[in-house]
Amino acid sequence: MESPRTESGTARELGAARTLWELIDRRAALTPDRRILLQDDRVLTFGGLRDAAERTAAGLYGMGVRPGTVVAWQLPTTVETVILTAALARIGAVQSPVIPFYRDREVGFALRACAAEYFAVPGEWRGFDHRAMAERIGAHGVFDAYGTLPQGDPAVLPPPPADGTAVRWIYWTSGTTSDPKGVRHTDRSLIAAGACLAHALRLTPDDVGSIAFPFAHIGGADYLVMLMLYGFPAVLFEKFALPDALPEYRRHGVTTAGGSTAFYSMFLAEQRKLPPGERLIPTLRLLAGGGAPKPPELYHAVVRELGCALTHGYGMTEVPMITMGSPDDSPDDLATTEGRPPEGMEIRIVDGEVRLRGEAVCRGYLDPAHNAEAFDDEGFLRTGDLGHLTPSGHLVLTGRRKDVIIRKGENISAKEIEDLLHTHPAIADAAVIGLPDEDRGERVCAVLEQRPGTEPLLLPEVAAFLADLGLAPYKIPEQVEVVAGLPRNETLRKVLKYKLRERFGQDLP
């Protein structure tokens, strides 16, 4: 086995790859027989992934997919999904991953906005018919990619793409607007972000990772890059729930797991069910993630009770990895900061706001109208997050300017839900807020001002109303409060959401 120094050097050399396909191809040539993907009883090696991706790329090419063709896909976390991603990277197509839990509203908007020419779906999955939805919203080039993928002879393929700075990825974020925003990424921006994560975590080929979150999340590309750089495998979870997933963690000897603050809490809750001294996952040495605030007390509880390290990072769809804690950091830094930025990531604090510039930053938004507001005159991305840097260079986040709720690591636009609530005949006004929640990071709370003479609305009725309008299930409020009048300021009558957070911010029983 290579020494840690050599492994780190190899990873940094691979991190210089111009494109994702070049990275996949170089890793396959280096360690073709090492495992990369583990799911149930399936095992795929690095060489097997490259070969399967080329055959699928040839099948897609036969369907008409060419370099620059926009292909959207809404698929669960499976081996086939990763193969499809690699196949599209081999062709040089533009791919737009869509979270599997999005429904008609979000999916329809995304497909129209990116002008998708093809749309890969899982058919019926977890009780929802994605193909029927695709037909309802008039999607083009719909094809099933769940269990089977198009196949062909790789000899028909053109040379792989060479330009890593071309925009080939469109991810979607709710932000603070009603409709999702398309975020434009390149192969190089994703490789830079994944390298930040990989180098910070001090991983080795002996590690076994896990992908328990939707691979369509930008974290999926981060993780794929990390696997390529350090040559270790990951267990894929199509459906993640505890304790059901625990046998797979134990069977495959997972050493590093995580996803977001909610994941830490779920593992901790399961550990507390066991007798003292019995470890939940005996091989686990590291929990790592980001996407939501991490209370310092949660860090200390994980280290103490799960018997593993915990490193937390800071990222967003626009910049998948900004900072990351490292196992080498002090316990105080790991508990109270988001880690340090990698080489090449510039962080500037302007009036308390965190601003960013570097290779991992997106190339702007699909709608150019969003760019002027998002970037300052020197090209720094305005994150809307508030924070400061410590003398050691660690980032501490203190709040958010954007009115975004982060539930289990996923951004939710309060305005989108408010706009839908305003269409209810019994609602005069509505304010949607995020409230601290031990399990979710934040929970969605709808505070309603009702029209005179209407019956008080209850949570089940509000949830059913939003679901009927096509709102994704993870955005539906878990709490509904009815008030006589929303608190407002005296000038523009703006709703004072901080007062609502103070009033309703206690954890649910």
Each residue of 18-27: pLDDT tens digit? Answer: 999 999 999 9
Each residue of 437-469: pLDDT tens digit? Answer: 988 899 999 999 998 999 999 999 999 999 999
Each residue of 358-386: pLDDT tens digit? Answer: 999 999 999 999 999 999 999 999 999 88
* Model confidence at 470: pLDDT above 50: yes
Q: How far apart are CA 362 and CA 171, in angstroms?
A: 10
More confident residue, 7 or 451: 451
Q: Please report, to the nearest 10 degrees, the dihedral formed by the alpha carbons of residues 123, 73, 218, 282 taken in order.
A: 30
Contacts of 244 (CB under 8 A, 6+ apart): none
Each residue of 388-427: pLDDT tens digit? Answer: 999 999 999 877 776 789 999 888 888 889 989 999 999 9
352 falls within a domain: no
Residue 70 β-bridge partners:
94
Percent of the chain whose pLDDT exceeds 70: 96
294 falls within a domain: no
Question: Which run of H or E residues covers position 87?
Answer: helix 79-91
SS3 content of the chain, % helix, strand, coil (to 5): 35, 25, 40
* Model confidence at 4: pLDDT above 50: no
CATH number at residue 496: 3.30.300.30
Mean pLDDT on 265-282: 94
289 falls within a domain: no
The 10 Å Cβ neighbour count of residue 395 is 23
Number of domains in the chain: 2
* Model confidence at 489: pLDDT above 80: no
**pLDDT of res. 2:** 46
The 10 Å Cβ neighbour count of residue 483 is 15
Each residue of 205-245: pLDDT tens digit? Answer: 999 999 999 999 999 999 999 999 999 999 999 998 999 99
Identity at 125, one-letter amino acid code: W
More confident residue, 68 or 5: 68
Residue 234 β-bridge partners:
37, 209
CATH number at residue 140: 3.40.50.980
In which domain, by residue range, is 170 found?
Answer: 18-34+45-187
Q: How far apart are CA 122 and CA 78, in angstroms?
A: 10
**pLDDT of res. 176:** 43
362 falls within a domain: no
User: Do residues 210 and 254 make contact, with C-beta atoms less than 8 angstroms apart?
Assistant: yes
181 falls within a domain: yes
Mean pLDDT on 309-320: 95
Mean pLDDT on 105-109: 94
Tokens of 24: 């996949």
213 falls within a domain: no
Residue where a domain stops, chosen among 187, 210, 241:
187
Residue where a domain stops, chosen among 153, 187, 221:
187
Q: Which of 415, 407, 480 is nearest to 442 (CA)?
A: 407
**pLDDT of res. 175:** 47
Positive or negative torsion for Cα 13, 15, 16, 18: positive
Which parts of 307-444 fold into alpha helices (H)?
331-336, 371-374, 414-421
Q: Which of 201, 304, 299, 295 is nearest to 257 (CA)?
A: 201
497 falls within a domain: yes
Q: How far apart are CA 163 and CA 21, in angstroms?
A: 11
**pLDDT of res. 294:** 80
382 falls within a domain: no
Residue where a domain stops, chosen among 187, 207, 238:
187
Question: Which run of H or E residues covers position 445?
Answer: strand 441-450
